[in-house]
Structure 1
Amino acid sequence: MNIKKIAVLGAVSVMLGAGLHATNAAADVSVMIPAGPGGGWDGTGRQAFGAMNAAGIYTDGVSFTNTGGAGGTIGLAAFQNSEKGKADALAVFGAITVGSIMLNSSPIDLSTYTPIARLTAEHLVIAVDSRSEIQTLEQLVTALKENTGAVPVGGGSAGGVDHIALALLAQAADIPVADLNYIPQTSGAETVTGIVNGTLVAGISGISEFVPFEEQDRIRILGITSAERHASLPDVATFKEAGFDVEIANWRGILGAPDMPADNAAEWVARFDALNDSDAWAQVLQTQGWDGFYLSGPAFGDFIAAENERIGDILKGAGLIE
């Protein structure tokens, strides 16, 4: 069940012991992670299977393949081409992928994949240097209005959720999205470096990537894209509280191979259902600072279709795609 390794950035095979059922031992599973080691997608895949093992839900072998680039589209394209119809081939993906497929004119068709489970959501935060004169989200928006192009803002892949969040903020503040000076970064850490050294005036990333740097007093977080204030940032106002009707999260989940046999798909959905109910996964969510955002099977497929339409409308409205 090995995935063809195209532009592999890293691969790890972990043998996790005996089969889930002594009378029906499962084949080893291959997991495509369409990003480099150490990021959010990588953590999602490895933490999920680690928790499955700890909970005794799935204890057979797991082979991870990291294939990064273009917002996940390179890895998923390789997966789509090589794993069609396979019973135990899974891929991690998320909201970033949806926009990246459109922005990169990728041949990936998410509707052909087998929806397994949406696992987590992480809301986004926007920050400036801790020494900046900008103290609030309203002040940052004012600066953007006064001279939009002179306020470089960094974040993840072009067309990804960070970029979309900034575009939505601009729309809510009547700032021309096309005038934004958005500079994609390779990671949240690189975004922070740009903020601190003055290359960027502000940056957007997930809570888990920015909070450690705020605790080090390197950055000041101005706002969060959640509907309500987040437990880890009780003093940070939401975008809505600041007067900007923006709510968006970076969700992550698991897809099965296109044309995965129905029995295998049902088995994987059941395993992830059990994972979601386990204490081991609850501990992972708490430790990682992720919010549970669970949905599985056909309902997850419906969600992906709706997200495809929603994010497409956002990107078109922002002038990022035609």
Structure 2
Amino acid sequence: MKQFVLASLFAGALAVPAMADYTIIAPANPGGGWDQTARTMQTVLQEEGISKSAQVQNVPGAGGTIGLAQFASQNKGNPDALIVGGYVMVGAILTNNSPVSLTDVTPIARLTGEYEAIVVPAASPIQDIAGLIEALKADPGAVSWAGGSAGGTDHIAVGLIAKAAGVDPTKINYIAYSGGGEALAAILGNQVTAGISSLGEFEAQIQAGTLRLLAVTSPERLEGVDAPTLQEAGLDVTLENWRMVAAAPGLSDEQKAKVTADMEKMAKSEAWQKQLSDKGWMDTWLAGPEFEAQLEKDIAATDAILRDIGLVK
């Protein structure tokens, strides 16, 4: 009888899937949205007992495409490897003519969404979005913009703002940085006229008074945010930056299902929801065939926008 019980317990233990030791690639320098997302995932995965020892690795460059290429080539069939991506990466793949795309990995889920914010240094003579647009119309090249990678969400937003203001988008002076931390340093150092990024990346400096928030790209005013929308300023522009998580290529259906289940457990946890609230991120969870279909639509729409504003020929 004792042997039967022990055998049953042993069999039950074998039936429980092993806990993953996830490594999460943040394909940018520390400080930006992808890095923040990866490190938030790391924290919650460990706090919730989903991963024993989640690790984050930064592989910056070319709007995430360097990290994506390395991830795809080095992790085939590895169910413990994850990479953070999103709207920025979709644009960078197109503008950089990247040989590796999101079809070369295993998209798992969309995680978060966030609107863009347009800021200037506190010492700037530009007091509002109207003043910035006036300067842009007067001399597009004299207005320098600091943002993320070329072809990413920030770059697209500036192109759309220029177009809506009647300025040739190909004339904008956009300076691309490989990480949010570098772009922020350039703005705070008065090296550029204005900065653009996800609102959460500027929030601490806005609260501290070192940056002036001019406008946001949401369709309506954001609760607790003292800034108009671009639409209020007469510019027909709205834009949401979303972030996703993908797994390695070559996974079995069972491995993909396990990763998806882990990500859903993370995303539905109280710890994750608190992080979203604290960081001002929207919960845009979407997985499975629905996410894959939406990703296809987003890639096609991004291609159309990039062609429209002259970033892709």
Structures share fold, TM-score greater than 0.5:
yes
| In 1, Cα distance between equivalents of 2:22 and 2:14 | 15
Q: Quick check: 1:115 aligned with 2:114?
A: no
User: In structure 2, what is the equivalent of residue 172 of structure 1?
Assistant: 164
Aligned equivalents of 2:174, 2:89: Cα separation in 1: 18
Q: Are the aligned partners of 2:31 and 2:181 in contact in 1 as well (CA < 8 Å)? A: no
Name the TM-score, length of structure 1 as normaliser: 0.86
* Residue-pair matches, total: 301
User: What is residue 222 of structure 2 aligned with on the other side?
Assistant: 230
Map of 2:207 onto structure 1: 215
CA separation in 2, counterparts of 1:188 and 1:283?
23
| C-alpha contact (below 8 Å) 2:46/2:53 kept by paired residues | no
Q: Which residue of 2 aligns with 1:300?
A: 291
Q: Is the 8 Å Cα contact of residues 155 and 163 (structure 1) preserved in structure 2?
A: yes
Give 1:252's aligned residue.
243
Of residues 3, 24, 27, the one that matches 1:34 is 27
Instruction: Report if aligned partners of 2:113, 2:283 keep a CA contact under 8 Å in 1.
Output: yes
**Could you tell me which residue of structure 1 aligns to residue 149 of structure 2?**
157
Q: Paired residue for 1:45?
A: 38
Q: Which residue of 2 aligns with 1:147?
A: 139
Q: Distance in 1 between matches of 2:162 and 2:76?
A: 41
Q: Deviations over 1:92-133 (max 9, x none)?
A: 111111111112111112123222111111211111232333
Which range moved further: 21-30 or 114-123?
21-30
Alignment check: 8 A CA contact 1:115 1:298 kept: no
- Deviation, 1:179, is 0.9
C-alpha contact (below 8 Å) 1:86/1:261 kept by paired residues: no
Question: SS where residue 162 of structure 1 aligns?
Answer: helix
How far 1:180 moved relative to its partner?
0.8
Distance verdict in 2 for CA 1:180–1:89, change over 3 Å? same
Partners of 2:222 and 2:295 in 1: CA distance: 25
Cα distance between partner residues in 2 of 1:266 and 1:120 = 20
> Alpha-carbon deviation of 1:54?
2.2
TM-score, normalised with respect to structure 2: 0.89
Q: 1:208 to 1:112 in 2, by over 3 A?
A: same
Question: What is the one-letter code of the residue matched to 2:271?
Answer: A
Deviates more, 1:236-245 or 1:41-50: 41-50
Contact 2:29 2:178 in 1 (8 A): no
Q: Is the 8 A contact 1:92 1:255 kept in 2?
A: yes
Instruction: Indicate how the Cα distance of structure 1 residues 98 and 87 shifts in structure 2: closer, same or farther if over 3 A, else same.
Output: same
Deviation at 1:196, TM superposition (A): 4.6
Residues 126-135 or 204-213, more deviating: 126-135
Structure 2: state its 5+ residue gaps: 1-12
Please show how residues 1-322 of structure 1 align to structure 2 within 5 Å.
23-56=16-49, 58-233=50-225, 235-322=226-313
CA distance in 2, matches of 1:155, 1:64: 23
Q: Counterpart of 1:47 in 2: which secondary structure?
A: helix
Task: Say if 1:31 and 1:90, in contact at 8 Å, map to a contact too.
Answer: yes
- Match of 1:215, SS? helix
Q: Give the secondary-structure state (helix, strand or coil) at the position aligned to 2:19.
A: coil
Secondary structure at the counterpart of residue 140 of structure 1 = helix
Report the CA distance between 1:310 and its aligned residue.
1.2
Change (3 A) 1:35 1:241: same
Question: Does the Cα contact within 8 Å between 1:157 and 1:186 map onto a contact in 2?
Answer: yes
Deviations 1:14-61 (A, max 9, x none): xxxxxx9983323433322222334321221231232133234x1333
Q: Distance in 1 between matches of 2:310 and 2:240?
A: 21
> 2: CA distance between counterparts of 1:93 and 1:21?
34
Deviation at 1:187, TM superposition (A): 4.0
Deviation at 1:254, TM superposition (A): 0.6
Paired with 1:214 and 1:65, the residues of 2 have a C-alpha distance of 28
1:238 Cα deviation after fit: 0.8
What is the root-mean-square deviation of aligned Cα atoms in Å?
2.1
Secondary structure of 1:302's match? helix
Q: Does the C-alpha gap of structure 1 residues 150 and 39 become closer, same or farther in structure 2, counting only changes over 3 Å?
A: closer
Structure 2 CA distance for aligned equivalents of residues 286 and 275 of structure 1: 15
The answer as to whether partners of 2:115 and 2:240 remain within 8 angstroms in 1 is yes
Deviation, 1:74, is 0.8
3-state SS, counterpart of residue 269 of structure 1: helix
Which stretch of structure 1 is more off in the superposition, 209-218 or 162-171? 209-218
